[in-house]
Structure 1
């Protein structure tokens, strides 16, 4: 039996405010073609199908299209819910869906009710453990004292092992969790609400393969305990990651082969740094023209309308920040202000957030500071003309 392990589709997610549905549709279509090319028997999806508990109609359409394409490629599907999904909504119609080859495992009651599939070597039991929030499931799992994900997942796996003891066969478990030894990418939502979020890998002892979801980069926690990662990058921290799925072959006695299959990127991510003019003209940035782009500007003065101007070259620039060359010199705030007058501190602030104040603006700042802190007026009060406040004005 050949199994394809994927997870964390996050259908409906945005990237810095940009809709990703078209990219997700393309990524899942590529995944369906891989299912056909590799002659996959079973696709397992380990949670976070959607990015929110109430997905939009367009997101549901993308999900439905992906399921149809994978089923048409000849695969049975087993899907569990993650911390982003609504178990009730995702699991709706599960009894009827199973008749068409889509097996939804989103409830506690189904943890020890595996999807039983067969090949030439006999039966394979696929157990689906949905995301478990300790506060809401501990009593039903018989561990009322549980406060952590480790404790409730241990109770869930006890059910799995108990069922296997009564019906021994090859087995696969789907789970949505943060397993000790794995590394987050930064685009995952924390699942620490209700207790400690990490789970020891030993929790999953006793089964042939564990298909994990939640973390977005492919990772091997133990040879047969793995994260497939998400099919698309969901943060600039993932720009160097290679997205992939895992393909597992089961023989008569369990796993015979595990492969990581890289996915072709739908659209690249680029982090660019330089002055606005450099980013707009330098040929070294040609490869980023169709990427999602974040730009860090190093101009001495904050550029005006930088985002609009950058989009004339990079249509998908999604984030721009101004990072003045001296702003990262490592000097802390206390060191910056020690032995400096109020006027010097305020002038420095204006320079940092905009540009150096003009002489007229500096005089106004002096007057304002005196008014606030009660410093004595000069023996020669400052009198300002409109021309002094703005040299661009004519008398």
Structure 2
């Protein structure tokens, strides 16, 4: 049986407020093309299909179109809910969806109820473990003392192993949305820590032929049979240099696996650029980033006027901008920096630090305000009387 492992679609997610739906639709279309080209039998998606528990209409449309394209390419789909999804909403109509080849596992009670899909060598049991929040899942799994993710996942896997024992010789695949020890976060994941303990040991999955993990956003191998596919798109600039991918698994008649990585095309790359604004607008070496999503750090001595508008004249997909003064890293303490300076000098430096150099008119207002404050402090009521006069 040929299986394609993808996860963490996060349909509806934005990048610094910029809509990524077109990019996400293109990524799902690329996955559907892989399914058709390579004759994939089953696509597994272990969680975080949507980015929000209540996705928008446009996000639902992109997701439904992507699922339909994958199914039309010839694959069944087995999917679970992640910590971003709403299990109830995602799982609504699961029984009807299964009739069309979309098998959803979003309920804790169904962890040991596998999706059985057969090839020429017999059935394969796909066990879907949705994201398990310990406080909510311990009652359903009948482990009232469970507190950590490891405790909860241990209980879920115990049920799966018990079901497998009643199906001698059956090949098995587990989908799990969890943070497995040995994995590395990419930077755009939402923490699932409870009491500071969010990781689970890989040993919990012993005996399973293949474990398709979701939650971490970079493709990685915990064990040859235990892998994260990562997200299909970079969702933070920390992931900008990271190649996104899916895993294609061939499961033979005895459960041995052969795994091949397929990199996904990225509609628009991410780039970080740093320098003074005029340099960023004229440096020919930056031409390769003009069609990228851009995050810029400006190092001008004073804050430039209207910097984002000017930056987008060259980099139309700039999405993030910050100003970092060259002197911002000084380690002088505040007392040393203001020693020997007048109140006006201190106020003028404050204005320059948080905004820009004060104009002569602004300096005059600062001087008058400080003088009035000093008079009020020494002779309460005098300033009020002068204002009344």
TM-score for both structures, normalised by structure 2: 0.91
- Deviation string for 1:49-104 (max 9, x for gaps)? 00111111111111111111111111010010001111111111111111111100
Local SS of the residue matching 1:337: helix
- Deviation string for 1:117-148 (max 9, x for gaps)? 11222221110000111111101111111111
Structure 1 counterpart of 2:387: none
Structure 2 counterpart of 1:150: 150
Q: Is the 8 A contact 2:272 2:296 kept in 1?
A: yes
Structure 1 counterpart of 2:140: 140
Matches within 5 A, 1:53-202: 53-168=53-168, 169-193=170-194, 196-202=197-203
Structure 2 counterpart of 1:259: 260
Structure 2 counterpart of 1:286: 287
Q: Which shows bigger deviation, 350-359 or 163-172?
A: 350-359
Equivalences, count = 376
Q: Please give the alpha-carbon distance, in whole angstroms, between the structure 2 residues aligned to 1:184 and 1:217.
A: 7
Closer, same or farther in 2 for the Cα pair 1:370/1:221, shift >3 Å?
A: farther
Structure 2 counterpart of 1:389: none
Closer, same or farther in 2 for the Cα pair 1:254/1:12, shift >3 Å?
A: same
In the alignment, structure 1 residue 357 sits paired with structure 2 residue 355: no
Q: Please give the alpha-carbon distance, in whole angstroms, between the structure 2 residues aligned to 1:340 and 1:177.
A: 57
Q: Which shows bigger deviation, 249-258 or 20-29?
A: 249-258
Q: Please give the alpha-carbon distance, in whole angstroms, between the structure 2 residues aligned to 1:333 and 1:116.
A: 66
1:108, CA displacement in angstroms? 1.3
Structure 1 counterpart of 2:12: 12
Q: Please give the alpha-carbon distance, in whole angstroms, between the structure 2 residues aligned to 1:184 and 1:371.
A: 55
Q: Is the 8 A contact 2:176 2:213 kept in 1?
A: yes
Local SS of the residue matching 1:270: strand
Structure 2 counterpart of 1:387: none
1:342, CA displacement in angstroms? 6.1
Q: Is the 8 A contact 2:192 2:198 kept in 1?
A: yes
Local SS of the residue matching 1:139: helix
Q: Please give the alpha-carbon distance, in whole angstroms, between the structure 2 residues aligned to 1:131 and 1:342.
A: 60
- Deviation string for 1:141-185 (max 9, x for gaps)? 111111111111111011111111111311110010111111111
Structure 2 counterpart of 1:273: 274
Unpaired stretches in structure 2, ≥5 consecutive residues? 379-389
1:370, CA displacement in angstroms? 5.6
1:198, CA displacement in angstroms? 1.4
Closer, same or farther in 2 for the Cα pair 1:296/1:367, shift >3 Å?
A: same
Q: Please give the alpha-carbon distance, in whole angstroms, between the structure 1 residues aligned to 2:80 and 2:372.
A: 64
1:361, CA displacement in angstroms? 4.1
TM-score for both structures, normalised by structure 1: 0.90
Q: Is the 8 A contact 1:370 1:376 kept in 2?
A: no
Local SS of the residue matching 2:70: helix
Matches within 5 A, 1:302-313: 302-313=303-314
1:335, CA displacement in angstroms? 6.8
Structure 1 runs, 4 residues or longer, greater than 6 Å off: 373-377
Q: Please give the alpha-carbon distance, in whole angstroms, between the structure 2 residues aligned to 1:375 and 1:337.
A: 27
1:290, CA displacement in angstroms? 1.2
1:265, CA displacement in angstroms? 1.3
- Deviation string for 1:196-240 (max 9, x for gaps)? 211111122221111010111111112211110000011111001
Q: Which shows bigger deviation, 7-16 or 117-126?
A: 117-126
Q: Is the 8 A contact 2:209 2:257 kept in 1?
A: no
Q: Is the 8 A contact 2:49 2:81 kept in 1?
A: yes
1:355, CA displacement in angstroms? 2.8
In the alignment, structure 1 residue 232 sits paired with structure 2 residue 228: no
